[in-house]
Structure 1
């Protein structure tokens, strides 16, 4: 059968994005057909089932098509091309990072820098076990360097719990690069994160990419740990801009790792997003979240404890409790729990 697709009519091809001619013809035919099975149009004398299945699978894997209504539908061209660009950039970035690491490029450049500021007798590997970094610029430079050389695990605490928008934008590419390299990332945040939507959105974004994130209602100490071999702690916990101490002393690092592990065990995973439908309407049975909140009224003596047990912020917990008391016409929380039991809600 003659070829009715392809790029032989002067159309620009997608080879520069890593797409072969056959896969491109298949995608163009999907666009023209709107999703009908384009098997008969594939450039094969008699397209067999295995050939068509392979083309469909590759189109899905490449982000060119997706199943909908029982048919393989083409993804919009803008979305498909952006996906291909992102995939190509990710491959190039990975290749460059692997090459830079294999050739020890950063170590070589650091040796040049250190040679200008230290005597020839002091090698890069002979840095003091504890360094004092003054000012935010030195701290950021150290974080960049330590992050680049991290190979297995990154551990960080954010005692304030809240990440400002500019911090999120700065952290996003660094965190994504760590996760893309398969490094284990654990981050601990103060409870204020639960009441800050931008921070929670970012934490869920990182969790979806493989990071482990927990929130603690107890006090946290600010520390950044890299491969359990280096640690950064602030010179002044109340003002991180003043600088930090960088230590590679094994005993000190082991102590800080132990501190982090204890704080981690006392924290909880970030809660799932609150039910999108919100509180149930008057006369309806409570949602799963509302039932957990009603159960907590029977056991928790404080809102903070109830919110922790349910896995939501205190503010959200109180909002739901108020709504439930109104629906139950309860005079207090204990009364609400009793009425809920009478109705069979818990």
Structure 2
């Protein structure tokens, strides 16, 4: 700025004293009649030389974009027609690349509402990293996002970090002791559920049948009503309500005769944590065996109240 001001006052500037930035912005040009000097140029004239090529590039890119959109729209008509006449409303998707591309497109095209249920406790960091960008983009578009996790995520730092970021952008998150099924619903028009319980990643079922999607969405709404809101900024996120709900669920499973391993897998927690919950209650009730504990829980009315 100082050099440009000096050039304006003197009417010229020695070529060796011209900063590179002034040449890049075309604010000075060489004077052919005086080879050893450069002269200043008004910013308006410099703008034409500097911004002109960029504007031309943008215009070409806009034309290319319109051309691509026009060509794709023709294929979209063919695709929609074939979907209506040939594609079933329930489709099995296999292969990680196909599944990820389909989910990315569905969430990327989400307009108003994104519903997800995530069982299994804390999620892998790589999965959270991929989901974060996709979900933040949806939230930026004004999509309402609601997610239900299991209570155990509140002790999983990577998942809580993800929750902190999406809730700061407007997402809503709640937890339950048990989330029955992994589920994604976009705009109540398309839903995705795992193909099997044994290996959830080996396939996904894409559901576009309006009746089935409606049933899944209503099931999610009922689950949501019974879930506990998550407030990441709270100094004690693992509060009394969450702890009591989790313990009651474990004890009801004990009454049903489920093993620690089965309970742990269902609630997304470690077998050791389940065993510790059971041990504490056994000591409280003076139980000497698993069968006796189940009997005492069923007959003492311990699970009838809120405490």
**TM-score class normalised by the smaller sequence:** 0.5 to 0.7
Of 226, 229, 233, the match for 2:189? 229
Alignment of 1:257-268 (within 5 A): 257-268=217-228
Return closer, same or farther for 1:162/1:251 CA change in 2, 3 Å cut-off: same
Alignment of 1:1-346 (within 5 A): 12=21, 103=69, 123-126=82-85, 127-275=87-235, 303-305=243-245
Deviations 1:266-297 (A, max 9, x none): 1111134353xxxxxxxxxxxxx6xx97xx6x
Deviations 1:97-116 (A, max 9, x none): xx79x94876656678x69x
* Structure-1 separation of matches of 2:88 and 2:169: 36
Shift of 1:163: 1.8
* Structure-2 separation of matches of 1:307 and 1:6: 74
Deviations 1:174-219 (A, max 9, x none): 1111111111111111122111011101101100011111111133
Aligned-CA RMSD value = 4.1
Deviations 1:137-189 (A, max 9, x none): 22212112212322111111111131211111111211111111111111111
Query: Structure 1 unaligned runs (5+)?
Result: 17-91, 116-121, 276-288, 309-313, 315-331, 333-346
- Given that 2:114 and 2:185 are in contact with CA atoms closer than 8 Å, whether structure 1 keeps it comes out as yes
* Structure-2 separation of matches of 1:184 and 1:174: 13
- The normalised TM-score by structure 1 is 0.48
Q: Which moved more, 1:259-268 or 1:4-13?
A: 4-13
- The normalised TM-score by structure 2 is 0.54
* Structure-2 separation of matches of 1:137 and 1:184: 27
- Given that 2:173 and 2:229 are in contact with CA atoms closer than 8 Å, whether structure 1 keeps it comes out as yes
- Given that 2:148 and 2:224 are in contact with CA atoms closer than 8 Å, whether structure 1 keeps it comes out as yes
* Structure-1 separation of matches of 2:107 and 2:141: 11
- Given that 1:111 and 1:124 are in contact with CA atoms closer than 8 Å, whether structure 2 keeps it comes out as no
SS of 1:245's equivalent in the other structure is: strand
* Structure-2 separation of matches of 1:241 and 1:305: 29
- Given that 2:163 and 2:232 are in contact with CA atoms closer than 8 Å, whether structure 1 keeps it comes out as no
* Structure-1 separation of matches of 2:182 and 2:70: 30
Higher relative contact order (CA 8 A, sep 6+): 2
* Structure-2 separation of matches of 1:104 and 1:137: 27
